[in-house]
Structure 1
Amino acid sequence: MATITPNTNYQYKLNVDLSEVDWQRILELFKAVAWKYRKAGEIEGTFRNSTATIFVYHNELIIAFGRVVGDGRYYAMLADIVVDPDYQGQGLGKYLVQALNDQLVDYHFVNLTAAPRSDRFYKSIGWKKQTTSYIWPQGPKQLRQHCEVEK
């Protein structure tokens, strides 16, 4: 994948002091992209347990973020790659994925669970669909959106 140059209008913060993060804003962004409801206290905890985190700011306002869930060496999963819909289409998602993936040199497996209808985005930046991945659906919506139809 080609190196993506950050937009100089934005501030990019990798592995920041999480006590400075506006968790209410994070919840707003999850809602803006129509992801399942989350609680501020729980979200902060998940980010604190992450291998790497990244936040993008525009005039002190968080406009994008992402994180890595991993064991620190062999397995890692990119998670919560979110860009404010008002800022999408500017390469921020690509930058988040690249910056996080750059933190995972020499890992054996790096994967992610993509939001429905985001296949084209991830394929365009070099990700491949995995044939050996499985999910334990956490409800009918997840079953419908992320699982093959059994014949």
Structure 2
Amino acid sequence: MKHRLNPDLTTIDWKKMDDIFGKVGWSVREPEDIKASFEKSAYSIFIYNDDDEVVAFGRTVDDGRYYAMLADIVVDPDFQGEGVGSFIVETLREKLEADDYHFITLTAAPGKDDFYRAIGWKKQSSSFIWPLSEKQERQHVEPEE
């Protein structure tokens, strides 16, 4: 498989991207909204199969100096388990680290903690979320004791 870092976004099939979000069970997104979010990202990476179709992707969200986070790290289930997700995460992290950000974070999809721990990420003890839906509450909020 090959990858492209910060490619010409006019070459991306945004409907295909929406399809991959659906295949991994993430919320429905509009192709034009996905495109707009990637256009505002400092770094984006796309992984292609042998037919030159996008099968995985990721991006960053940042302020240009202090805080940066990885977002939308998504791998088509047909290509999971091949090191693609690790490659995306490490490539984006290395770019942000080289830019000398003070904090590099990410929000893991539910059930993916072990994946991130296995590649060296540490769970942050002081992160919080303002849940905007019952689903976010259910998936991302620790139960109160």
Residue aligned with 1:98, SS: helix
Aligned length: 142
Residue aligned with 2:41, SS: coil
Q: Aligned partners of 2:117 and 2:92: how far apart in 1?
A: 17
Larger relative contact order (CA 8 Å, sep ≥ 6): 1
1:17 aligns with 2:17: no
Taking only aligned residues, the RMSD between alpha carbons, in angstroms, comes to: 0.7
In the alignment, is the contact (CA less than 8 A) between 1:51 and 1:71 conserved in 2? no
Quote how far apart the aligned CAs of 1:143 are. Answer: 0.5
* Uncovered stretches (5+) of structure 1, i.e. residues with no partner: 1-9
1:81 aligns with 2:73: yes
| Residue identity in the other structure for 1:52 | Y
Which of 126, 135, 141 is the matching residue for 2:120? 126
TM-score by length of 1: 0.92
Which of 99, 103, 112 is the matching residue for 1:109? 103
Task: State how 1:1-150 maps to structure 2 within 5 Å.
Answer: 10-58=1-49, 59-105=51-97, 106-150=100-144
* Uncovered stretches (5+) of structure 2, i.e. residues with no partner: none
Quote how far apart the aligned CAs of 1:150 are. Answer: 1.3
Quote how far apart the aligned CAs of 1:33 are. Answer: 0.2
Overall identity of the aligned pairs, in %? 51
TM-score by length of 2: 0.96
Q: Aligned partners of 2:81 and 2:128: how far apart in 1?
A: 30
Q: Aligned partners of 1:111 and 1:79: how far apart in 2?
A: 9
| Larger relative helix fraction | 2
Residue aligned with 2:61, SS: strand
